[in-house]
Structure 1
Amino acid sequence: MSFVNGLTIAICTMHREDDLLKCIKSIFRQSVFFDNYSSELIVVDDGALTKEYLDKIERFSSGKCPFIYKKKAKKGLIHSRVEAIRAATYEVVLFLDDDVELEDGYLDCLLQTYSSDQEVVAVGGVNVLQKEGFLGRLIKQIAGLTSRNPGRLSFSGFGGSMSLWALQEETFTSEFLSGCNMSFRLGTIRNIAVPDWLEGYSLGEDLYFSRHASRHGKVLVNPLLRVKHYESPFSRQPSSHTAYSRITNHYNLLRMDHRRSVSKFKIALSGLFLLASSVGKPQILKGYLKGLLWAAVSGS
């Protein structure tokens, strides 16, 4: 066993006050954890939380762990992540989306997973609300958007196999974690660079962080680490912008990964167009088309 010295819980938020409060309540319901481990809560704000609201968080955290508030000047999720890393004190940093709720025992189980093996550098959990039928998984697998192996990206670099995570019974190694609840040993991400293409909405930054951490040791997903990710509609980019980023950012991730061919990305694009067309989403199709034109101009 390798003792972990404590946990930094980091929540990056923007204009989701109600969701954030639910998330924080779920953290502090796990009171036994705070009796056994040193910890801190960092909230990095891309919005405008009021003093009254921050006082409310302070009351929840009082007697359990220090609360640190960071008001960020530079917009974008990845910059919020970096801000939290700079402020973090403890060996493990857990990033939570502001629209998740932790199930009981999450925090204890997380640090026990790290303590079991010094080579573990990153650990993530599963979203119990993410469900997909067999037919949907099959279509995405054929299109190159998912893998049959829950711990592997698809051949075109997408993380669709995440839909299999809640079905697993044992901890497994993974090439990637889910950004809604992912954690890292601080030393492995302390000096992580911020590429230009991850500015703004930062879609795909969880794959980027996971790939960076995997150079230092084991990346695990523990299905006992369970969250409910509600995917709040508030403070999200328009669907066309998100679709555009889904293509351009994954294209850039592929160019960093020599194990996968950028040319296979075209197969996945066909699948994305087919799925968007089948549900009648013209704004998403518009974003995909714009991203495809960008990729064609950028070359491989």
Structure 2
Amino acid sequence: MEFAAAWTYQNGTPGPLMAAGAADRALRPGLTVAICTYQRPASLSRLVDSLAAQERTPDALIVVDASANSATEDVLKAHACLPRVAGAVVYIRVIESMRGLPKQRNLCVRYVDTDLTAFLDDDVVLLPGCLAEMERQHRLLGNQVVGVGAVIEGDAAPTRLWMLRLILRMVPSLEPGRYYRSGMSTPWRFQDIEDDVVPVDWLPGGAAAWRTEIVQRLGFRTAFSGYAQGEDLEFSLRARRYGALYAVGGARLLHLHEPSGRPDSFARGYMAIRNRYQIHRIGVPDRTWKDVAWFIYAWTVDTVLLGRHLIRPSGGLQVAMEVSGRVRAAYDLLRGHS
């Protein structure tokens, strides 16, 4: 496989990237952190700082970079924490045909040799004890669990928008971390999980630790290309067939949303409908016409609610583009272009 750049750093020594291990190789006990990044050198550097400060640093760190230049690579190579951030560091910068979150994550897993893999977004910051607590809960729960997620710090109260969605029956409840047959998933933040371990239907893609064998078996769906909105939900719904998913209240991190490397408003709106429909089609067991009707109702109303922002003096153009993206996705789905 051709890479734009690839190297390793282990025991204080840089070296060339070795070939990926066989798919059926034995996995050793341990924890690998996998980070997929795109044009965010400063964010990645900040995340590496927080990784190096963890009481339990990862056994390996794998970074798959889709950037068009070497800025992120240069920052990582020069990072003062590189010698102590992990037992081994693997860096790969992919060519254009390999860009996209699912493709990058699938590539990461090919180089993992530990039984647990934690996927982190490049714009998060781990709070003390985060990695250790995710691993501890995995070991404690054993084979009954396939994945656990860290809790993103934030407001635990439901917003007015979510209260309105509940009133309009777009969702049957605001229980956190659930996926409903309307095709809507409730955020985790509606409950202060504290130190509890709470069962959920989905894990956030940028703050979750999975059993590596499950990720290698299932893979991330590459039909969700590029930014791949909703890929974490889609993967979670497939993975939970093999075991439980839990939110770990004792594992905390900050999500410092980085504006760069994100799709424009039209693309975001298009993915909101197109990807959610694909998830609904695949992820809802025994799906009936009533489920499809509920999906259409929920997302039509949600788009109308989004349109209320058009009356605001600022941001109206971005909202109009997002609504246009949703309408275009619905049109394409009706024409059979899924």
What TM-score, normalized to structure 2?
Answer: 0.80
What residue number does 1:291 align with?
A: 329
What residue number does 1:121 align with?
A: 146
1:40 aligns with 2:70: no
Structure-2 change in CA distance of 1:132 and 1:299 (3 Å): farther
- Does the CA-based 8 Å contact 1:96-1:182 persist in structure 2? yes
CA offsets, 1:269-289, max 9 Å, x none?
A: 123212211122111111111
1:188 aligns with 2:225: no
SS at match of 1:200: coil
Alpha-carbon distance, 1:295 to partner:
2.3
What residue number does 1:21 align with?
A: 45
SS at match of 1:228: strand
Cα distance between partner residues in 2 of 1:191 and 1:246? 27
SS at match of 2:70: coil
The structure with the largest alpha-carbon Rg is 2
1:29 alignment partner AA: A
2:34 alignment partner AA: A
Structure with a larger share of its residues in helix:
1
What TM-score, normalized to structure 1?
Answer: 0.89
The unaligned stretches of length 5 or more in structure 2 are: 1-27, 311-318
In percent, how many aligned pairs have the same letter?
A: 25
- Does the CA-based 8 Å contact 2:149-2:204 persist in structure 1? yes
Structure-2 change in CA distance of 1:224 and 1:238 (3 Å): same
- Does the CA-based 8 Å contact 2:149-2:248 persist in structure 1? yes
In structure 1, which of residues 149, 155, 179 is the aligned counterpart of residue 175 of structure 2?
149
Structure-2 change in CA distance of 1:24 and 1:196 (3 Å): closer
CA RMSD, Structure 1 to Structure 2 (Å):
2.2
What residue number does 2:307 align with?
A: 277
- Does the CA-based 8 Å contact 1:184-1:213 persist in structure 2? no
Alpha-carbon distance, 1:218 to partner:
1.2
Alpha-carbon distance, 1:128 to partner:
1.2
What residue number does 1:267 align with?
A: 297
Structure-2 change in CA distance of 1:165 and 1:259 (3 Å): farther
1:237 aligns with 2:263: yes
Cα distance between partner residues in 2 of 1:65 and 1:289? 48
- Does the CA-based 8 Å contact 2:158-2:190 persist in structure 1? no
The unaligned stretches of length 5 or more in structure 1 are: none
- Does the CA-based 8 Å contact 1:126-1:166 persist in structure 2? no
2:88 alignment partner AA: P
Alpha-carbon distance, 1:206 to partner:
0.2
Give the stretch that moved more between structures: 135-144 or 236-245.
135-144
In structure 1, which of residues 215, 225, 232 is the aligned counterpart of residue 251 of structure 2?
225
SS at match of 2:228: coil
1:106 aligns with 2:130: yes
SS at match of 1:219: strand
In structure 2, which of residues 87, 92, 97 is the aligned counterpart of residue 70 of structure 1?
92
2:56 alignment partner AA: F
CA offsets, 1:76-115, max 9 Å, x none?
A: 1000110111111211110101011111110110111001
Structure-2 change in CA distance of 1:259 and 1:279 (3 Å): farther
Structure-2 change in CA distance of 1:24 and 1:165 (3 Å): farther
What residue number does 1:61 align with?
A: 82
Alpha-carbon distance, 1:169 to partner:
5.2
SS at match of 1:178: coil
Deviant stretches of 4+, over 6 Å: none
CA offsets, 1:230-278, max 9 Å, x none?
A: 2211011001101101110110111112255222111221232122111
Structure-2 change in CA distance of 1:8 and 1:196 (3 Å): closer
Cα distance between partner residues in 1 of 2:180 and 2:187? 8
Alignment length, in residue pairs? 292
